């Protein structure tokens, strides 16, 4: 599992390949609960291993349900035949709605005393409609903090033996109806559930009915209004059951295939799927993507001619996968309006606000209402820029924003939140995407890095990063603010908020062009001093990575290949003898009209290199995977050609 505070994603050039999907969360937790309630042993194969399924498995273990390994990652659930063995338990269910809602219903009818709680966000997610329905059946449930919300205390109750019907509202979460239906066979009598008002997310009810059917309970239904569970319905193990791949998780890779060259194929769900979220593929097709499907796979590619087009999409049936339409819409022509998404506001976070806020951080234009979200794609993708993406402990926000790397590099905060449904998501993402290439050129002062880097970038038509300039600017800004170069916290704050921009070949700090001021030997020493402070390096990291834009980047510094771009496609350690470097710097200064003493220059650069090499973080050194380019006896052109040759790229 990924416990990093952040993950920096490089911009990508394209995507293509095949992804084997993890098991469906919705199916996994339904199957676990029904296998637990069933008579007999159920071998569950391809179960999703994630936070939400872990919460369900932990709860079942506490309730006395035995689960044993069955080889090759499968498990055997030893069903209790409807008689939950443990009659008193305190269950912590994290933020797993697919565990909390169905367990509430099953335990309310099980005749025990159970305390159910979750993370703070779970306690803000409504459950009142389900509690009301269960109380109608005679269940004793107390909402311990706020009426209608977890945490809950369930107590043994004399269940109402006469209630033949039970009303439940369906417009906030379909999980209330799911929970109720799955629990009803525990009553051993005929009960009809009547849905009050509109039922959202109907395809999830299809999953519930199909899964109950696999465990031997057929629900008679009249449209989407009435569902009857007959007396004598009992769950029986189907023996072995396979969990389909997760159709919501498929949406990220299908979206990627539609915007980034493709084709991208997902395996584990396909035309035969019981999951409604495969209808996300229809929305992509409506945008012009080329979608093909087999029984167990789906493939997406961009339109053959032209680009995707914006659509108006009712998302009531695909609430989770529909989030992926937000990043996809950024790459379409014309606006995309998503409707019927009020339920987003009561999910892991308020997903309407979260998606809008984070897209705006990247420079996107979004409008929202209580139940809609409209994306206005930029006229030019260059309008989008690198930013830190807040993920709100919501796996889907993290996964959705990975698609934005087709426009810009970005930082995902708390990337480990994908563990809720897709623990290795970012590894799979990296496997099917091609990151913008980087040539990293590191080396000591005055070795010629800047000159060579700039010329290689010009030859290839790639972007250029002079990372030393950012350290020099930090030292200069600190000096202007009267901050001591060794004051780590204050200098790091300055580095994090540098008002720098580059225009017309000049470097601006605020409104002032500062090229001459920052290129002095004094600012070289200042840069080397502030560069030894870990917090300063941390503060400048994303700013440097933001330069990694299509079609490629050539970056010079001291730690380009080791820290900033460890996955650089070519790494060069460019150097020359100290005497040659001192002479080069001397000539450079003379040409600019500065006076200097060769001996002093030699001393300064030896001191600076020693400091850069001795520091504890990102020291100057040749990394094992970097090629050595000794330029003492090379011309600039020879050095440039050698780098181009090593990179395997031809000058454009
Ligand atoms: N192979 C070379 N032969 C001769 N002169 C060179 C060569 N490479 C660079 N130079 C010259 O050396 C001087 C210093 O080069 P440059 O400023 O690119 O070095 P640098 O490594 O980026 O320095 P710093 O780390 O201090 O920024 C420049 O005037 C450049 O033209
Ligand atoms: N990636 C980098 C780039 C620069 N620095 C520090 C150390 C250098 O002595 C100083 C100035 O760099 P220059 O402009 O001469 O390339 O900045 C660093 O620590 N890491």
- Predicted pLDDT of residue 134: 97
Structure tokens at 118: 């979750």
d(CA 260, CA 434): 10
What value does the CA radius of gyration of the chain take, rounded to a whole number of Å?
Answer: 30
**Tokens linked to 46:** 């391809």
The CB of 444 under 6 Å from ligand 2? The reply is no
Instruction: Return the closest-CA partner of residue 394 out of 361, 427, 352.
Output: 352
| Residue 608, CB-side half-sphere exposure with 13 Å CA sphere | 26
Pairing type for strands 113-117 and 88-92 reads: parallel
Closest ligand (CA of 452): 1
Contact predicate 408/386, CB 8 Å: yes
φ/ψ of 413, rounded to 5, equals: -80, 145
* Region of residue 461 (left: phi > 0; alpha: psi -120 to 50; beta: else): left
Which residues have a catalytic role annotated?
A: 320
Helix (H, G, I), strand (E, B) or coil at 427: helix
Q: Which residues pair with 120 in a beta bridge?
A: none
Long-range contacts made by residues 541-547, C-beta under 8 angstroms, separation at least 24? 541/8, 542/8, 542/386, 542/388, 542/411, 543/470, 543/498, 544/465, 544/467, 544/470, 545/8, 545/10, 545/386, 545/409, 545/411, 546/385, 546/386, 546/408, 546/409, 547/463, 547/464, 547/465
Whole-number Å distance between alpha carbons of 591 and 290: 59
Does the beta carbon of 608 lie inside 6 Å of ligand 2?
Answer: yes
Question: In this structure, which residue's CA is closest to atom 13 in ligand 1?
Answer: 584
645, with CB counted inside 10 A (0-12, 13-18, 19+), is exposed
Q: Please give the pLDDT value at position 2.
A: 52
Judge whether 6-21+247-435 and 25-242 match in fold: yes
Q: From the alpha carbon of 591, which atom of ligand 1 is closest?
A: 29
Please identify, by atom number, the ligand 1 atom nearest to the C-alpha of residue 638.
Answer: 1
> Any residues with Cβ below 6 Å from ligand 1, and which?
445-451, 468, 584-585, 588, 631, 634-636, 639
Ligand 1: which residue has its CA nearest to atom 3?
Answer: 635
Question: What's the order of all strands across the beta sheet hosting 66-71?
Answer: 66-71, 74-78, 41-45, 240-242
Does residue 618 sit in helix, strand or coil?
coil
* Separation of CA 587 and ligand 1 centre (Å): 10
Domain ranges of the chain: 6-21+247-435, 25-242, 438-647
Per DSSP, helices labelled H in 186-291 are: 202-214, 247-259, 280-286
| Arch. (CATH architecture) of 6-21+247-435 | Alpha-beta prism (3.65)
Centre of ligand 2 from the C-alpha of residue 442, in Å: 10
575 CA distance to ligand 2 middle (Å): 14
Measuring from atom 9 of ligand 1, which residue has the nearest CA?
Answer: 448
Tokens of 50: 């994630």
* pLDDT tens track for 315-359: 999 999 999 999 999 999 999 999 999 999 999 999 999 999 999
Q: Return the structure tokens found at 278.
A: 């495969």
445 in a labelled binding site: yes
Tokens 């299809």 sit at which residue?
Answer: 206
Average pLDDT score over the chain: 96
Q: Identify the CATH class of 25-242.
A: alpha beta
> pTM for the whole thing?
0.92
The response to whether residue 23 sits with its C-beta less than 6 Å from ligand 2 reads: no
Confidence (pLDDT) at 92:
98
Mean pLDDT of 460-464: 97
173 backbone dihedrals φ, ψ, rounded to 5°: -150, 135
pLDDT mean over 400-410: 98
Q: How far is the CA of 603 from the centre of ligand 2 (A)?
A: 17
Q: For residue 162, what pLDDT band results from cuts at 50, 70 and 90?
A: confident
Evaluate: CB of 327 within 6 angstroms of ligand 2.
no
Report how far residue 437's alpha carbon sits from residue 548's, in angstroms, rounded to the nearest whole number. 8
CA distance 177 to 56: 19
Which two structure tokens, joined as six digits, stand for 223?
Answer: 């449209």
CATH class of 438-647: alpha beta
Q: Which two tokens stand for residue 245?
A: 């791949």
Q: What is the pLDDT of residues 35-51, one digit of tens each?
A: 999 999 999 999 999 99
- Whether the pLDDT of residue 376 is over 60: the answer is yes
**Would the CB of 612 count as within 6 Å of ligand 2?**
yes
The bound ligand whose nearest atom lies closest to the alpha carbon of 525 is: 2
Convert 362-398 to b/e letters by CB count within 10 Å (16 or more is b).
bbbebebeebbbbbbbbeeeeebebbebbbbbbbbbb
Q: What is the pLDDT of residue 650?
A: 80
Q: Are 448 and 518 in contact (CB under 8 A)?
A: no
Ligand 2 pocket member 581 (CB < 6 A): no
- Arithmetic mean of pLDDT, 145-166: 94
> Which ligand number lies closest to the CA of residue 636?
1
Going by pLDDT thresholds of 50, 70 and 90, the confidence category of residue 502 is: confident
Report d(CA 135, CA 147) in Å as an integer.
13
Nearest CA to ligand 2 atom 19: 531
**Span 351-372, mean pLDDT?**
98
402 labelled as ligand-binding?
A: no
Query: Which ligand is closest to the CA of 444, given by its number?
Result: 1
Contact 319, 200 (CB under 8 A): yes
First-residue to last-residue Cα distance in the chain: 42
Strand order across the beta sheet in which 512-513 lies: 500-503, 506-509, 512-513
Task: In whole angstroms, give the CA distance from residue 260 to residue 548.
Answer: 17
pLDDT at 1: 47
Residue 91 pLDDT > 50, yes or no? Answer: yes
DSSP assignment of 60-123: HHHTT-EEEEEETTEEEEE--TT--S-SEEEEE-TT-HHHHHHHHHHHHTTTSEEEEE--TTGG
């Amino acid at each position: 599992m990924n416990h990093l505070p952040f993950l920096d994603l490089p911009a990508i050039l394209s995507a293509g390949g095949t992804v084997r999907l993890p098991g469906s969360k919705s199916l996994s937790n339904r199957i676990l609960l029904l296998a637990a309630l069933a008579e007999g042993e159920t071998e569950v194969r391809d179960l999703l291993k994630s936070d939400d399924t872990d919460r369900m498995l932990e709860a079942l273990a506490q309730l006395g349900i035995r689960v044993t390994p069955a080889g090759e990652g499968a498990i055997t659930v030893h069903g209790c035949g409807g008689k939950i063995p443990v009659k008193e338990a305190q269950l912590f269910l994290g933020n797993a709605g697919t565990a909390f809602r169905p367990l509430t219903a099953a335990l309310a009818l099980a005749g025990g005393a159970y305390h159910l709680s979750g993370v703070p966000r779970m306690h803000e997610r409504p459950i009142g409609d389900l509690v009301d329905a269960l109380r109608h059946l005679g269940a004793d449930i107390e909402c311990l903090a706020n009426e209608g919300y977890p945490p809950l205390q369930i107590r043994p109750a004399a269940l109402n033996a006469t209630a033949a019907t039970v009303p439940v509202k369906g417009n906030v979460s379909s999980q209330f109806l799911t929970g109720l239906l799955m629990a009803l066979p525990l009553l051993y009598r005929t009960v009809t559930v009547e849905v009050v008002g509109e039922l959202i997310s109907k395809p999830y009810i299809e999953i519930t009915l199909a899964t109950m059917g696999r465990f031997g309970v057929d629900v008679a239904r009249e449209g989407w209004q009435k569902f009857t569970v007959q007396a004598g319905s009992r769950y029986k193990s189907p023996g072995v059951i396979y969990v389909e791949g997760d159709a919501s998780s498929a949406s990220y890779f299908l979206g990627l295939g539609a915007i980034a060259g493709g084709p991208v194929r997902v395996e584990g769900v396909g035309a035969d799927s019981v999951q409604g979220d495969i209808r996300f593929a229809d929305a992509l097709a409506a945008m012009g993507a080329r979608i093909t499907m087999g029984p167990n796979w789906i493939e997406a590619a961009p339109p053959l001619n032209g680009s995707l087009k914006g659509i108006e999409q009712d998302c009531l049936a695909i609430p989770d996968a529909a989030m992926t339409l937000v990043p996809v819409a950024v790459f379409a022509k014309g606006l995309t309006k998503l409707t019927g998404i009020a339920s987003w506001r009561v999910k892991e976070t308020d997903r309407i606000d979260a998606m809008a806020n984070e897209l705006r951080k990247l420079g996107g234009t979004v409008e929202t209402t209580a139940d809609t979200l409209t994306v206005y794609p930029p006229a030019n993708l260059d309008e989008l820029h690198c930013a830190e993406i807040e993920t709100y402990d919501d796996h889907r926000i993290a996964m959705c924003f990975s698609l934005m790397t087709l426009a810009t590099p970005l930082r995902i905060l708390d990337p480990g939140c994908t563990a809720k449904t897709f623990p290795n998501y970012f590894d799979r993402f990296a496997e099917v995407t091609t990151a913008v290439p980087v040539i990293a050129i590191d080396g000591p002062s005055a070795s010629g890095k800047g000159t060579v880097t700039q010329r290689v970038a010009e030859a290839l038509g790639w972007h250029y990063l002079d990372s030393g300039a950012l350290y020099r600017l930090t030292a200069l800004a600190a000096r202007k603010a009267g901050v001591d170069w060794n004051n780590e916290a204050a200098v790091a704050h300055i580095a994090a908020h540098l008002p720098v921009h580059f225009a017309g070949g000049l470097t601006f700090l605020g409104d002032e062009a500062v090229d001459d001021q920052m290129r002095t030997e004094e600012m070289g020493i200042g840069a080397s001093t502030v560069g030894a402070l870990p917090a300063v390096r941390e503060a400048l990291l994303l700013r440097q990575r933001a330069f990694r834009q299509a079609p490629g980047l050539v970056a010079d510094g001291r730690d380009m290949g080791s820290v900033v771009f460890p996955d650089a496609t070519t790494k060069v350690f460019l150097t020359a003898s100290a005497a040659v470097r001192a002479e080069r710097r001397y000539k450079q200064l003379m040409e600019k009209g500065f006076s200097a003493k060769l001996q002093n220059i030699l001393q300064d650069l030896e001191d600076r290199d020693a400091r850069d090499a001795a520091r504890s973080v990102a020291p100057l050194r040749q990394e094992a995977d970097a090629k050595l380019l000794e330029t003492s006896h090379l011309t600039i052109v020879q050095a440039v050609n050698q780098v181009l040759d090593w990179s395997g790229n031809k000058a454009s």
